[in-house]
Amino acid sequence: MTADHGPRWLRWPSETSRRRFAFGADYNPEQWPREVWREDVRAMRHAGVNIVSLAIFSWARLQPRADRWTFDWLDEVMDLLHAHGIAVDLATATASPPPWLTARHPEILPVDHDGRTLWPGGRQHWRPTSPIFREHALRLVRAMARRYGSHPALAAWHVSNELGCHNVYDFSEDAATAFRAWLRDRYGTVEELNQAWATAFWSQTYDDWAEILPPRLATSYANPTQQLDFKRFSSDALKDYLRAERDALAELTPEIPVTTNFMVMGETKGMDYADWACEVDFVSNDHYVTTGPQARDELSFSANLTGRLSGGEPWFLMEHSTGAVNWQPVNTPKKPGGLARDSLTHVAYGADAVCFFQWRQSAGGAEKYHSAMVPHAGTDSEVFRSVVDLGATLERLAPVAGTRRRRAPAAIVFDWDSWWASELDSHPTSRLRYRQEALDWYSAFAAAGVRVDVVTSAESFPHYDLLVAPILHVVPRGLADRLGAYAAGGGHLVTTYFSGIVDEHDHVWLGGYPGALRELLGIRIEEFGPLLDGDRVDLDLGVSGTLWSDRIDVTGPDVEVVARYTSGEHAGRPAVTTRRVGTGSASYVSTRLGPEGLGPVLSRFLATGGVRGELPEAVAGSVELAIRTGDDADYWFLINRTDESVTVGDAGEVAGEVLQAPCLASDLTLAPRQVCVLRRAHETPPVS
């Protein structure tokens, strides 16, 4: 939802105004002969596909030379799709510059940290701050808007593709010039910058803006605040590019909503999406499953956070996969039911569009072994049959489309500044992983059968009875005050090791850790206690910690020691503390307990916060619950997290009309990896 108007959704062609799920894929017809296009639209209609993202990587096909444009093929595809009732999320086609442009202007090519040019051969080989690239890209954007802005198939604009996937950090002279301008805007004077960057250290004091560079390859650790500001600048530079395309589109086609696909997934950390979300008409996200025991929870975590970035409004799952990707070390297919479970988990957390990369699996090119809706084996395949089943399921679930997320009783705070700053070099340990700690807490909530929202630090905390802020490392004074007010007002705050350490300039809050939160937590720590690989510390809760430990001194009134270390340097000393604050509390967990180890600790905090699960206790950990709420009903998504059948118990306990067969309403048994949706009419007005 952009600043000048509220959220907007797809502009469906008029005859299909009822709310329904968008279902489709990236579509790259330029890779195939025309007869395949006709086969495509037939198969799309058979599968229930109602939208495609088109022309994402088509720049070279649309503008083969600087002075030549070839839109005829795209005209034909747009008309063919519209004739078959398939809407188009039309890309601006600027994601990958054509060879003629980079040959003519190599100065648009990114430069990496070590000073190496990133040459053509892949994709997204452009500098976010290059004026020359932007000039050529916006010329294409305007040409697309003028030609297709009134096409009846056009449902949305798709700016570029995954901005920052390969080019978020550019160290070129263009980047240096833009970085200096960004710094001047942020600090005003070189003196203020010197203060913020602590440049008295290692004789780094600047006398003139022209002396300042991006943190390129250096002899030793680069200035940490310079690094942090460069991350902030790089995210802003791409956001500025997004706004340039969006504004060009809005000028020519103001009635068409604009989106771009974020990447809230795994360790993709270069773009602060909490800061970007207001720049688009609706949030779109790409997600691909990771591997390992928390892979499913990571998908849920990412969908959950995306739904909050969208402000609880429906969002667009732009891409995920029907099966294996091709860019992990080993790319495994999905298990039976996995395609549907992944898709419906995104829907459970607010996605009103389920789209894939891509429609037809490529025969050539770097992603020919990446799964698609139509695999190399064609439509007579398990994958395509699963796709058709999913299309039918989404049709049955149409009443859910347009409903909003129902808030959970608890929340996990996710903060990009803390993610960036806590993982800088020259730190107590290089092993710390910010997102992993947040995901561990998410898995612990899932294991406890308790719904939890993943929110950003900009959200209003009082909505939540329990607020967990893992490794909230960067705590400016204002955030510390908000957290204190939350606890004093009855909220129950939990934070962890390496939280509250620095201000927004990455300067340590002095007087003892955790600086900004020391008084609120009623504790004081003089030295960090990072653990070596393989070392563990035991706690008297029967769990053990890795990565980190702290020597805690209790300093405040009303502090209760929840758990003590029973081994390691701090044996006998506090490991987990809770301080009563007003009608609330503030708690501290001083080691990494991991998803299982957090169980006993979380159950303690759930009790303190009066937070309970909404499903029968017996299925806690096996069945994940997410709730969407509409005008007349709630929709309960029961997600089987396991590879076994799970009986949810007497349907009376979770009474509701089963929306999606074949859940057995009588005893509500979920097959392995199955998602069941219950419609529960409102007895009372929905919780806002």
The answer to whether residue 319 forms part of the interface with ligand GLA (CB under 6 A) is yes
Our CB check for ligand GLA shows the closer of 286 and 459 to be 286
Our CB check for ligand GLA shows the closer of 321 and 345 to be 321
Least distance from ligand GLA to the Cβ atom of residue 572, Å: 50
Structure tokens at 205: 């004091």
Considering only CA atoms, give the Rg of the chain: 26
- DSSP character at residue 123: S
Least distance from ligand GLA to the Cβ atom of residue 161, Å: 5
Please give the size of the binding site for ligand GLA, defined by CB under 6 A: 9
Residues 212-251 that bind ligand GLA (CB under 6 A): none
Find the helix or strand (DSSP H, E) in which 634 lies. strand 633-640
- Separation in Å, CA 274 to CA 10, 225, 394, 458, 618: 22, 21, 29, 8, 36
Reduced to 3 states, what is the DSSP secondary structure of residue 266? Answer: coil
| Phi-psi region at 375: left, alpha or beta (left = phi > 0; alpha = psi -120 to 50) | beta
- Separation in Å, CA 78 to CA 6, 29, 84, 152, 155: 28, 11, 10, 9, 11
Applying CB under 6 A, among 288, 464, 513, 635 the residue interacting with ligand GLA is 288
The answer to whether residue 357 forms part of the interface with ligand GLA (CB under 6 A) is yes
Applying CB under 6 A, among 367, 535, 560, 614 the residue interacting with ligand GLA is 367
Applying CB under 6 A, among 162, 174, 440, 453 the residue interacting with ligand GLA is 162
Pairing verdict, β 574-581 and 410-414 = unpaired
The answer to whether residue 440 forms part of the interface with ligand GLA (CB under 6 A) is no
- Separation in Å, CA 552 to CA 59, 115, 422, 511, 571: 59, 44, 20, 14, 11
- DSSP character at residue 532: P
Residues 48-67 that bind ligand GLA (CB under 6 A): none
Least distance from ligand GLA to the Cβ atom of residue 298, Å: 15
Our CB check for ligand GLA shows the closer of 61 and 370 to be 370
Least distance from ligand GLA to the Cβ atom of residue 123, Å: 8
Reduced to 3 states, what is the DSSP secondary structure of residue 483? Answer: helix
162 is catalytic: yes
Least distance from ligand GLA to the Cβ atom of residue 81, Å: 19
Rounded Cα–Cα distance for residues 203 and 659 (Å):
67
x/- site string to ligand GLA, residues 267 to 286, per CB under 6 A? -------------------x
Least distance from ligand GLA to the Cβ atom of residue 358, Å: 7
Residues 457-486 that bind ligand GLA (CB under 6 A): none
Least distance from ligand GLA to the Cβ atom of residue 101, Å: 19
Our CB check for ligand GLA shows the closer of 318 and 467 to be 318
Least distance from ligand GLA to the Cβ atom of residue 316, Å: 13
Structure tokens at 300: 């849920």
Our CB check for ligand GLA shows the closer of 161 and 499 to be 161
Our CB check for ligand GLA shows the closer of 358 and 379 to be 358
Task: Give residue 192's identity as a one-letter amino acid code.
Answer: E
Our CB check for ligand GLA shows the closer of 370 and 407 to be 370
Q: How many CB atoms lie within 10 A of CB 426?
A: 11
The answer to whether residue 324 forms part of the interface with ligand GLA (CB under 6 A) is no
x/- site string to ligand GLA, residues 142 to 161, per CB under 6 A? -------------------x
Task: Give residue 362's identity as a one-letter amino acid code.
Answer: S
Residues 627-656 that bind ligand GLA (CB under 6 A): none
Residue 586: name the closest of 509, 498, 513, 522 by CA: 522
Residue 263: name the closest of 244, 290, 240, 294 by CA: 290
| DSSP states along 595-616 | HHHHHHHHHHHHHHHT---SS-
Rounded Cα–Cα distance for residues 463 and 486 (Å):
10
Applying CB under 6 A, among 370, 641, 673, 679 the residue interacting with ligand GLA is 370
**Which is the catalytic residue, given 245, 298, 313, 319?**
319
Our CB check for ligand GLA shows the closer of 323 and 595 to be 323
Applying CB under 6 A, among 244, 325, 618, 651 the residue interacting with ligand GLA is 325
- Separation in Å, CA 185 to CA 181, 214, 476, 519: 6, 16, 20, 34
CB hemisphere CA count around 52 (13 angstroms): 30
Contact set with ligand GLA (CB under 6 A): 161-162, 286, 288, 319, 325, 357, 367, 370
Residues annotated as catalytic (active site), given as ranges: 162, 319
